[in-house]
Chains A and B, each alone.
Chain A
Amino acid sequence: MPRSLLRDWILLGPGLTWLALLLVAPCAIVFFFAFFERGVYGGVDYVFGFDNFGRAFDPLYLSIFLKSAKIAGLATLVALLIGYPAAYAIARAAPRRQTVFLVLVMLPFWSNYLIRTYAWIVLLNREGLINQALTALGLINEPLSLLYNEFAVVTGLVYNYLPFVILAIFASISRLNPETLEASEDLGASSVRTFFRVTLPLTIPGVAAGAVFVFVLSIGNFITPDLLGGGRIQMVGNIIYDQFLTARDWPFGATLSMMLIGVMMILLFTQAMVVRRMQGDREGAHA
């Protein structure tokens, strides 16, 4: 098979070499950095140890991890609550309009993240449109502090990742067999009961995919807490940034990154398990 071997090399070789050198190797370096110590002048001292991990569980950093998880969890919950009915509405539209809606939903997702986040500074600041509108309506006398707090950060995260949640849930709903739902209603279940007992459980894979995506990208976010939290909300991403560019403690920054990747892998694995189990259930039901 020398010919097909040659073909494999031409097709897979260049791309995989690139990814091996500039994705796998850099990540492996960060992994090893996590076990070393900060050098006197900010470099890396190659003394092996687990000190960084001990430090990462120091109450100070642990509380930042927990706070990041709380903000990411909140953003995930809100995105699911807003996203599910929106995905459901799109799934019930006529096929032609489905495409239009999906493109409309996904379009902002592919555009500049910084600018989308900046747009919320424009809306939420003390002289911003929302404060102006509330003042004009006579609802408030003093402008509200909407920016530089947890509310602003969660809003920014939901805003940026909602499109993907809608897409993931839509994909799941559109794969549902309409006959299953008809059967449920024909057997006398109300549409509310059908939704909670049939539709929702069958679309859990889409919900899980959307949730994991928002949570992972939120907990490791840097731009949103930086711009909308205004330095008052510190998340893991901001600490990693500081360790690399300000404190110059690369090994500790690497440790925090590895913990972030660890959380991410556990969640992706859980999601894969959920999907596999549901597929297993479905195959079992057919047999």
Chain B
Amino acid sequence: MLDGANARAAPSRVWLSGHLGLVLLFLYGPILVLMALSFNQAGLPTAWTGFSVKWYGVLLENEAVLAAARNTLIVAVTSTLLATALGALLAIGVEYRRRGPALEAVLFAPMIIPDIVLAIALLSFFTLLEFTLGLHSIILSHVVFNIAFVCAVVRTRLRGFDWSVFEASVDLGANEATTFRRVILPAILPGVLAGAMLSFTLSVDEFIIAFFTAGPGQGSTTLPMQIYSMIRFGVTPEINAMATIVMAVSFALVLLSQRINKGSITG
């Protein structure tokens, strides 16, 4: 849209495109290197010795990794279901009626507060209440930031919503439950699905809050916690293989969420 104004500045245009290309290389280069090295035959971290999928086999036989993956699925699915229901209702309520600065602050806080602060706050809270820690406390904690993200995505969906349609439906004799199901839900459904997918991705990837609220013992180790402890031992092809799978799943879910609801990931 700025083409007209700057049409004669052709050389700067080439520079800008070149710069954008380099930025994309910077963003994707490291991830692609990681993915390529996961197919490296030798156990050496970086010298290429031939194509092989054997590290994926090694990974799938690692009991600790499989147990962590199972825990992560339990946490992500449960926290996503809870956060999607609560976040979507909240979005409708906030858009329809109340929009005070305090409410906006509470909805914005989980997105900007440093993870480590939320993590220690939740640990302090659970400890003070003498709450036993485990997968359930990770779930309770993940719902906190997931509510905020689901709510934000669904709200963008409702921004242009014509609330008089809603009033008309009620005036015409439909009760509020029917109106919700037949009028509001269809309008927000893409946003709800997209928000659910983003929240699932965020939960699968979240490390610090899970680390602090998992409690002692190995029983509730999640995949990022497992990845963290493996990374501390150094670069291995097995981590590269795991990283490749996790990144591929994230990318697929995020792209799907953007496809269902345009603007989900780009605001």
Contacts and interface: CB of A to CB of B under 8 A. Distances in A.
Interface of A: 3-4, 7-8, 10-12, 14-16, 18-19, 22-27, 29-30, 33, 82-83, 85-86, 88-92, 95, 99, 101-116, 118-123, 125, 127-129, 132, 159, 162-163, 166-167, 171, 173-174, 176, 178, 181-182, 185, 191, 194, 213, 216-217, 219-223, 227, 237, 240-241, 244-245, 250, 253-254, 257, 260-261, 264, 268
A105 B243 contact: no
Given A115-B243, A178-B4, A107 B251 contact: yes
B143 interface: yes
Contact of A90 (B5, B8, B20, B258): B20
Contacts of A86: 19-20, 23
Contact of A223 (B47, B141, B207): B207
Interface in B12-33: 12-13, 16-17, 19-20, 23-24, 26-28, 30-31, 33
Given A107-B255, A178-B2, A89 B116 contact: no
14 contacts: A11-B92, A15-B93, A105-B23, A113-B207, A122-B46, A122-B235, A129-B46, A162-B26, A167-B267, A185-B5, A191-B8, A194-B5, A240-B116, A250-B120
Nearest to A29: B124
Q: Among B17, B87, B106, which residue has the most Cβ atoms of chain A within 10 A?
A: B106
A10 B89 contact: yes
Contact of A123 (B30, B44, B198, B243): B30
Could you tell me the dominant secondary structure of chain A's interface residues? helix
A250 B123 CA distance: 10
Ranked nearest first, the 7 interchain pairs of A and B with the lowest CB-CB distance are: A220-B114, A11-B93, A15-B90, A26-B121, A119-B30, A26-B125, A89-B16
A182 B5 contact: yes
Contact of B231 (A29, A102, A108, A114): A114
A88 B231 CA distance: 37
A2 to B, nearest CB: 13
Given A110-B202, A122-B235, 4 more contacts: A3-B176, A132-B47, A182-B5, A244-B123
Contact of B33 (A129, A171, A194): A129
B2 A122 contact: no
Interface residues of B, number: 92
B220 interface: no
Contact of B125 (A8, A15, A25, A82): A25
B1 A174 contact: yes
Nearest to A25: B125
Interface of B: 1-6, 8-9, 12-13, 16-17, 19-20, 23-24, 26-28, 30-31, 33-34, 37, 44-47, 85-87, 89-90, 92-94, 96-98, 103, 106-107, 109-110, 112-118, 120-125, 128, 140-141, 143-144, 147, 151, 176, 198, 201-202, 204-205, 207-208, 212, 224, 227-228, 231, 235, 239-240, 243, 246-247, 250-251, 254-255, 258, 262, 265-267
A219 B115 CA distance: 11
Given A11-B96, A22-B125, A85 B19 contact: yes
B228 A114 contact: yes
